[in-house]
Chain A
Amino acid sequence: MPTLTLLQAVNDGLKTVMRNDPTVLVFGEDVGPKGGVFLATEGLTEEFGVERCFDTPLSEDGIVGAAIGMAMNGLRPVAEIQFQDFIYPAFDQIVSEAAKLRYRSGGQYTAPMVIRTPYGGGIRGGLYHSQSGESYFAHTAGLKVVIPSTPHDAKGLLIASIEDPDPVIFMEPKALYRTLKGEVPEGSYTVELSTLREARAGKDVTVFCYGAMVTVAEKAAEQAATGGIEVAVVDLRTLLPLDEEGVLDAAKRTGRVVVLHEAPRFCGYGAEISALIAEHAIEYMEAPVVRVTGFDTPFPNTLEHNYMPDDRRVLDAIEHVYNF
Chain B
Amino acid sequence: MTAELQHLAPDGSPRGDVPELEGTFLRELFVHMMRVRCTDERMLKLQRAGRIGFVGTAKGLEAAIIGSAAALQARDWLWSGLREGGAAVMRGLPLSEYVAQMYGNSHDTAKGRQMCNHFQHKASHYPSWSSVIGTQLVHGVGAAFASKLRGEDAVHAVYFGDGATSSNGFHSALNFAGVWRVPVVFVCIDNGWAISVASSQQTAARSYADKAAAYGMPGRDVDGNDVLACYQAAHEAIAAAREGGGPSLLVLKTYRMLGHSSSDDPTKYRDDDEVAAWAAKDPIDRYERYLVERGVLAGGERQAIEADLLRELDAVIHEEETVPPMPMRTLVEDVYAEVPPHLRRQFNSFIAVAERLGYARPGDGAFPL
Chain B associates with chain A: yes
**A109 in contact with B128 given A56-B176, A241-B342 (CB within 8 Å):** yes
B302 within 8 A of A: no
| Chain A 86-127 interface 0/1 with B at a Cβ cutoff of 8 Å (1 = within) | 000100110011001111111111100000000000000000
**A101 in contact with B150 given A62-B175, A66-B176 (CB within 8 Å):** no
B34 within 8 A of A: no
B225 within 8 A of A: no
**A108 in contact with B342 given A57-B176, A59-B172, A61-B138 (CB within 8 Å):** no
Complex Cα distance A180/B127, Å? 44
Verify A62–B113 contact, CB threshold 8 A.
Answer: no
B138 partner, pick from A51, A62, A141, beta carbons under 8 A: A62
B277 within 8 A of A: no
A57 partner, pick from B130, B132, B175, beta carbons under 8 A: B175
Verify B146–A70 contact, CB threshold 8 A.
Answer: yes
Residue of B nearest to A60 (CB): B172
A187 within 8 A of B: no
Verify A61–B109 contact, CB threshold 8 A.
Answer: no
Complex Cα distance A291/B324, Å? 48
Verify A102–B337 contact, CB threshold 8 A.
Answer: yes
Complex Cα distance A272/B143, Å? 37
Residues of A within 8 A of B138 (CB): 61-62, 65-66, 68-69, 93
Verify B142–A106 contact, CB threshold 8 A.
Answer: no
Residues of A within 8 A of B143 (CB): 69-70, 72-73
* Most chain A beta-carbon neighbours within 10 Å: one of B110, B145, B336: B336
**A73 in contact with B142 given A56-B176, A103-B335, A241-B340 (CB within 8 Å):** yes
Complex Cα distance A244/B369, Å? 13
| Chain B 131-171 interface 0/1 with A at a Cβ cutoff of 8 Å (1 = within) | 01001011111111111011000000000000000001101
B241–chain A nearest beta-carbon distance, Å: 15
Verify A65–B173 contact, CB threshold 8 A.
Answer: yes
A66 partner, pick from B145, B333, B336, beta carbons under 8 A: B145
Verify B336–A108 contact, CB threshold 8 A.
Answer: no
Verify B147–A96 contact, CB threshold 8 A.
Answer: no
Complex Cα distance A235/B110, Å? 37
| Chain A 43-75 interface 0/1 with B at a Cβ cutoff of 8 Å (1 = within) | 000000001000011010110011111111111
B169 partner, pick from A65, A75, A77, A245, beta carbons under 8 A: A65
**A67 in contact with B342 given A100-B130, A105-B110 (CB within 8 Å):** no
Complex Cα distance A70/B109, Å? 22
A231 within 8 A of B: no
Verify A72–B139 contact, CB threshold 8 A.
Answer: yes
Residues of A within 8 A of B137 (CB): 65
Verify B132–A74 contact, CB threshold 8 A.
Answer: no
B145–chain A nearest beta-carbon distance, Å: 6
B163–chain A nearest beta-carbon distance, Å: 15
Verify A97–B130 contact, CB threshold 8 A.
Answer: yes
B276 within 8 A of A: no
**A102 in contact with B139 given A59-B172, A66-B145, A70-B146 (CB within 8 Å):** no
Instruction: Tell me how many residues of B have a C-beta within 8 Å of chain A.
Output: 46
Complex Cα distance A102/B172, Å? 23
- Consensus secondary structure, chain B interface: helix
- Among residues 327 to 361 in chain B, which have CB atoms less than 8 Å away from a CB atom of chain A? 333-337, 340-343, 345
Complex Cα distance A47/B137, Å? 31
Verify B341–A96 contact, CB threshold 8 A.
Answer: no
A142 within 8 A of B: yes
Verify B132–A69 contact, CB threshold 8 A.
Answer: no
Residue of A nearest to B112 (CB): A106
Residues of A within 8 A of B336 (CB): 102, 142, 144, 165-166, 241
Residues of B within 8 A of A67 (CB): 142
Residues of A within 8 A of B6 (CB): none
B127 partner, pick from A57, A72, A75, beta carbons under 8 A: A72
B122 within 8 A of A: yes
Residues of A within 8 A of B132 (CB): 92, 96-97
Residues of B within 8 A of A92 (CB): 132, 135, 168
A242 within 8 A of B: yes
Residue of B nearest to A27 (CB): B145
**A108 in contact with B110 given A61-B138, A166-B336 (CB within 8 Å):** yes
Residues of A within 8 A of B172 (CB): 57, 59, 61-62, 65-66
Residues of B within 8 A of A93 (CB): 135, 138
Verify A62–B342 contact, CB threshold 8 A.
Answer: no
**A194 in contact with B145 given A59-B172, A65-B172 (CB within 8 Å):** no
Verify B135–A96 contact, CB threshold 8 A.
Answer: yes
Q: List 30 A-B contacts (CB under 8 A).
A: A51-B149, A57-B179, A61-B168, A61-B172, A62-B175, A65-B138, A69-B138, A69-B142, A70-B143, A73-B77, A73-B143, A74-B146, A93-B135, A97-B130, A97-B135, A103-B334, A104-B128, A106-B109, A106-B113, A106-B334, A108-B110, A109-B120, A141-B335, A144-B336, A165-B337, A166-B337, A241-B340, A241-B342, A244-B342, A244-B345
- Closest 10 pairs (CB-CB, A-B): A69-B142, A65-B138, A62-B172, A66-B142, A69-B139, A105-B128, A106-B111, A73-B146, A69-B143, A73-B143
Q: A-side interface residues toward B, CB under 8 Å? A: 51, 56-57, 59, 61-62, 65-75, 77, 89, 92-93, 96-97, 100-110, 141-142, 144, 165-166, 194, 241-242, 244-245
